[in-house]
């Protein structure tokens, strides 16, 4: 596992599609809202806020400008098909903890884009000195859970009835976590020198 910050922009290929992977900027506001509006509402429940709302996206971009969030976009054909965010609050009681959030459009699923976004987000977070990483999702998002578990994340908590959708139905949220140094030591013990 290296502490080298990944370089952007760069090209990746998933499921016979070439994507440009790049950092999100203020010019991406309208495209981010358009992307969010293509997603099933259930896919957004693990996020702290509803990114279909332009005001929420504006606040997200302000946090990117302040450096508390780094967001990566996977773009093809002029449209966003996936997004990874690394959230870290260095002024909180947990400055050593980062959160990874991944969202992939329905048309780009099943080809490894989510996995590549998660791996890049992981590498980026580790390069900033994060000591612990968490990821949240609903328990029925089995594919996403499997991706994070393959990276070394383990279930740490289940928050029952933690979020409520637009119809008022409550849903559980599972929190997965990874201790960076412990993961590094385990990978070294098994002869792995790189995170992925």
Cβ pair 85, 61 in contact under 8 A: no
What pLDDT is attached to residue 183?
83
pLDDT for 135-167, tens place per residue? 999 999 999 999 999 999 999 999 999 999 888
The domain segmentation of the chain, as residue ranges, is 10-189
**Token duo for residue 4:** 């080298």
pLDDT at residue 190 tops 60: yes
CA 5 – CA 97 distance, rounded (Å): 17
CATH code given to domain 10-189? 3.40.630.30
Closest CA to 21 of 29, 12, 30: 12
């Amino acid at each position: 596992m290296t502490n080298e910050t990944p370089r952007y922009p760069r090209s990746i290929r998933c499921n016979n599609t070439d994507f440009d992977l790049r950092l999100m900027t203020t010019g991406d506001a309208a495209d981010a809202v358009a992307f969010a509006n293509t997603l099933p509402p259930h896919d957004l429940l693990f996020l702290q806020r509803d990114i279909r709302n332009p005001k929420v996206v504006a606040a997200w971009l302000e946090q990117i400008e302040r450096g508390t969030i780094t967001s990566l976009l996977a773009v093809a054909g002029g449209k966003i098909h996936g997004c990874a965010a690394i959230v870290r609050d260095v002024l909180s009681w947990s400055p050593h903890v980062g959160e990874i959030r991944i969202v992939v459009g329905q048309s780009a699923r099943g080809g490894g884009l989510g996995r590549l976004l998660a791996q890049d987000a992981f590498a980026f977070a580790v390069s900033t000195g994060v000591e612990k990483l968490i990821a949240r999702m609903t328990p029925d998002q089995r594919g996403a859970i499997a991706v994070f578990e393959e990276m070394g994340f383990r279930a740490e908590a289940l928050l029952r009835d933690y979020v409520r959708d637009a119809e008022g139905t409550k849903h559980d949220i599972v929190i997965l976590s990874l201790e960076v140094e412990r993961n590094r030591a385990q990978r070294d013990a098994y002869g792995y020198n790189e995170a992925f």
